[in-house]
Amino acid sequence: MKANIHPDYHNIKVVMTDGTEYMTRSTWGKEGDTMNLDIDPSTHPAWTGGNAQLSDRGGRVSKFKTRFGNLGI
């Protein structure tokens, strides 16, 4: 195997949308960095059964509904 080809694997803190935090190991960022999530399993409709609403960043959701809302699907 080649030496020094693997990324640095270190501890980071992940902060969920509801404020809960946990420590995990990742290649993201540097040792001790904090990753703040915009969408997580407690807020994304794919995991909540469609009860939660995604925030419309930049009007993309409303543009999509305007273009394709009349298809009747």
Sheet strands side by side (includes 34-36): 21-26, 10-15, 34-36
The answer to which of 6-20, 22-36, 59-73 has the lowest mean pLDDT is 59-73
Residue 40 binned pLDDT confidence (cut-offs 50, 70, 90): confident
Is the pLDDT at 31 greater than 60? The verdict is yes
What is the pTM for the complete model shown? 0.56
Looking at residue 29, what is its pLDDT? Answer: 93
Alpha-carbon gap, residue 45 to 54, rounded angstroms = 8
Residue 73 binned pLDDT confidence (cut-offs 50, 70, 90): low
